[in-house]
Chain A
Amino acid sequence: MKPTVADRAWSRYTSRQRWTRLAITATVVLAVSWSLSTIDIIWPWVWDAPAQIGDLFSRMVPPDFSSLDKIVWALIETLNIATIATFIAVVVSLPIAYIAAQNTTPNRATLWLGRFILVSSRSVNTLIWALLFVAIFGPGVLAGIIAIMFRSLGFLGKLIGEAIEEIDQRPVEALEATGASHAKVVLYAIVPQVIPTFFAVSVLRWDINLRESTVLGLVGAGGIGVILQGAINTLDWRTVATVLIAIIVLVIAGEAIAAWLRKKAI
Chain B
Amino acid sequence: MLRITHLIKRYGNGEPVLKDLNLEVPDESLVSIIGASGAGKSTLLRCINRLVEPTSGSIELNGQELTTLKRDELRKSRRRIGMIFQGFNLVDRLTVMENVQCGRLGYIPYWRAALRRYPAEDIERAFHLMERVGIAKYANKRADELSGGERQRVGVVRALMQNPEILLADEPTASLDPVSSRQIMELLQNLADELKLPVLINIHNVAEAKEFTRRIVGMRFGRLIFDGKPSDLDDDAMDAVYSGTPSDEREDTGAAFTRAVTQ
Contact = CB atoms under 8 A, between A and B. Distances in A.
Nearest to A177: B83
Contact of B162 (A178, A181, A183): A178
Contacts, number: 81
B106 interface: yes
Contacts of B159: 178
B90 interface: yes
Nearest to B108: A184
A151 B102 CA distance: 38
22 contacts: A170-B85, A171-B91, A171-B92, A173-B89, A174-B89, A174-B155, A175-B102, A177-B49, A177-B51, A178-B79, A178-B102, A178-B159, A178-B162, A179-B75, A179-B78, A180-B105, A181-B106, A181-B110, A184-B110, A187-B110, A188-B102, A192-B93
Contacts of A105: none
B256 to A, nearest CB: 32
B81 interface: yes
The size bracket of the interface on A is: 20 to 34
B113 A184 contact: yes
A189 B94 CA distance: 9
Interface string B57-95: 000000000000000000111111111010101111110
A179 B76 contact: yes
Given A174-B90, A181-B106, 14 more contacts: A171-B92, A174-B85, A174-B158, A177-B49, A178-B82, A179-B80, A180-B75, A180-B106, A183-B110, A184-B113, A187-B110, A188-B105, A193-B91, A193-B93
Given A178-B162, A184-B113, A189 B77 contact: no
A231 interface: no
Nearest to A194: B93
A186 to B, nearest CB: 11
Contacts of B76: 179
Nearest first, the 6 A-B pairs at minimum CB distance are: A179-B106, A179-B78, A180-B105, A179-B79, A174-B89, A170-B89
Contacts of A177: 49, 51, 78, 81, 83
A195 interface: yes
B68 to A, nearest CB: 17
Nearest to B159: A178
A178 B158 contact: yes
Contacts of B94: 188, 192
B198 interface: no
Contacts of B79: 178-179
A201 B105 CA distance: 30
A176 B105 CA distance: 10
Interface in B88-126: 89-94, 98, 102-103, 105-106, 110, 113-114
B78 to A, nearest CB: 4
Given A173-B51, A187-B113, A180 B102 contact: yes
Nearest to B81: A177
